[in-house]
A and B are shown apart, each in its own frame.
Chain A
Amino acid sequence: MSAVRQYELIYITPPEITDEALAEVHTQVQAVVDRFGGTIEKTENWGRRRLAYEIGRQREGTYVLEVINGPGALTTELDRRLRVLDAVIRHLIVRVDEDLAVAERSRVRRKEDLAKRRVKRGLPPEPTESERHRREDDDDDADGPELGFRAERGDR
């Protein structure tokens, strides 16, 4: 009853953190993951980023993303540990395997549907390059700033 699931852990540390302290947090995470028989699939350091709001008088933070495979019990422990660490000012654990599976399924289904429809019309299942270009603009409305209304501010 301990199925392997995939989780994403993101934590934020103060921007002035030393590399050693950052490595220390990582080892702690690794230790917990190991104890529950999980694996860390990938670790990504996003570096220094501006926070959208202040967290404990910090306006910036260093983000680290860890993709973890392991049983669900691991999240509780990880959560508890990270809450205690001073070097981590915010963290979030999200289960992602289900969402990704759903996304994958609908992607595959869409592709199959398209192929089926095309075969019905006596076309090859995959759209050719020239068709693809035409398809992009076959509606009759102007391709203005379609959804770029307001709030067109990327990253702040």
Chain B
Amino acid sequence: MSDERDSRGGRGAGKAADKEKGGRRGGFFRRRRVCKFCVEKIDYINYKDVKLIAPFIPERGKIQPRRISGVCATHQRALQTAIKRARQIALVPYTTD
């Protein structure tokens, strides 16, 4: 039982719930995300690792909110400092336009 939604019913029910949750308007479907750092058991989010943090920096250069990315609070905090440090040494942009 990795997810509380699974307990509601088998496979089919879980999927339906997913659709309901993310499938609003315009068929833009997104499933419930899990924290990447928890899944991959990353304890230290290294600010020098651009490949690791790049997925959390959308086009505009802002830090992606966790309501979008699904990162847990603990890791979002760590990610935030990592991104801010990376910005200072020009590994990651402050803004892009």
- Residue numbers of A with Cβ under 8 A of B are 10, 12, 51-53, 55, 61, 63, 65, 90-92, 94, 99-100, 102-104, 106-107, 110, 138-141, 146-155
CB atoms of A103 and B44 under 8 A apart: yes
Which chain B residues have a beta carbon within 8 Å of chain A's beta carbons?
Answer: 2-3, 6, 11, 14-15, 18, 30-31, 33, 36, 41, 43-44, 47-48, 50-51, 54-59, 64, 69-70, 85, 87-94
Residue with the highest number of chain B CB atoms closer than 10 Å, among A12, A55, A99: A99
- With A94-B85, A147-B36 given, name 13 new contacts (CB 8 A): A51-B90, A52-B90, A52-B91, A92-B89, A107-B41, A107-B43, A141-B14, A147-B55, A147-B70, A151-B56, A151-B57, A151-B58, A155-B50
Given that A140-B11, A147-B69, A154-B50 are known contacts, is A100 also in contact with B44, CB under 8 Å in the complex? yes
Q: Say what secondary structure dominates the interface of chain A.
A: mixed
Listed A/B pairs (27) with beta-carbon separation below 8 Å = A52-B90, A52-B91, A52-B92, A52-B93, A53-B90, A53-B94, A55-B90, A63-B89, A65-B48, A90-B88, A92-B89, A94-B85, A102-B43, A110-B41, A138-B2, A139-B2, A146-B36, A147-B33, A147-B36, A147-B55, A151-B57, A151-B59, A151-B64, A152-B55, A154-B50, A154-B51, A155-B51
Task: Please give the distance in Å from A142's CB to the nearest CB on chain B.
Answer: 9
| Residues on the A chain within 8 Å of B33, using CB | 146-147
Contact A53 B93 (CB under 8 A): yes
Report Cα–Cα, A141/B73, bound state, in Å.
Answer: 23
Determine how close the nearest CB of chain A comes to the CB of B66; give it in whole angstroms. Answer: 12
Is A151's CB under 8 angstroms from B54's CB? Answer: yes
The total number of A-B Cβ pairs within 8 Å is 77
User: Closest B-chain residue to A89, C-beta based?
Assistant: B90
Distance of A107 Cα from B88 Cα, bound (Å): 28
Judge whether B85 and A149 touch: CB under 8 Å: no
Instruction: Provide the residues of chain B in CB contact with A139, threshold 8 Å.
Output: 2-3
Tell me if A141 and B90 are in contact (CB < 8 A): no
Known contacts being A147-B69, A151-B59, A154-B50, is A106 close to B90, with CB within 8 Å?
A: no
A123 to chain B, nearest CB (A): 18
A61 and B44 within 8 A (CB):
no
